[in-house]
Structure 1
Amino acid sequence: MSAVRKRSISLGQTKTSISLEDEFWDAFKSIARARGLTTSQLVESIAADKQRGNLSSVVRVFVLKSALSGGSSSQLNFKD
């Protein structure tokens, strides 16, 4: 597993950052691309779930749920 990296994103007019491992970030970008969204747009669409934890955790759970609900590794573009 790779080290956790901070990534800057925009939520509306607000700049923030999330800390994710490369594998989660790569999968998240693939999901966004498959949905025709930017990573910021996808974060905004799932940010309503933030009450369940911090934003980084919400993104990790979203990626995990996407993978478990039928997203294949080729669809999600996981790195080996």
Structure 2
Amino acid sequence: MPLVKRSLSLHGHRTSLALEPEFWDVVDGHVRSEKRSLASLIAEIDDSRDTEDPLSSAVRLWVLRHVKAT
């Protein structure tokens, strides 16, 4: 399945993030249920990741932990 790319502002800079649609479904559901912005969730994930790890990998791991916790 092809990656879906989205653009957002992260810490004042425009960036893009490409994930599989299934990962976006979980992320979108979470931000909708928490009534928060996509950028705020991605910034939280970005702030907690190891700087050596790609942001897309950190988001995928966040999704995995989120799904396992529910």
Say yes or no: TM over 0.5: yes
Residue 36 of structure 1 corresponds to which residue in structure 2? 35
TM (norm. structure 1) is: 0.77
Name the Cα RMSD after superposition.
1.3
Structure 1: 5+ residue stretches without partners: 71-80
Q: Deviations over 1:29-78 (max 9, x none)?
A: 111111121111110111113315111111111011000011xxxxxxxx
Residues 1-80 of structure 1 mapped to structure 2, 5 A cutoff: 2-51=1-50, 53-70=53-70
Q: SS state of the match for residue 31, structure 1?
A: helix
Partners of 1:48 and 1:61 in 2: how far apart? Answer: 14
Partners of 2:33 and 2:63 in 1: how far apart? Answer: 13
* % identical aligned pairs: 33
Structure 2: 5+ residue stretches without partners: none
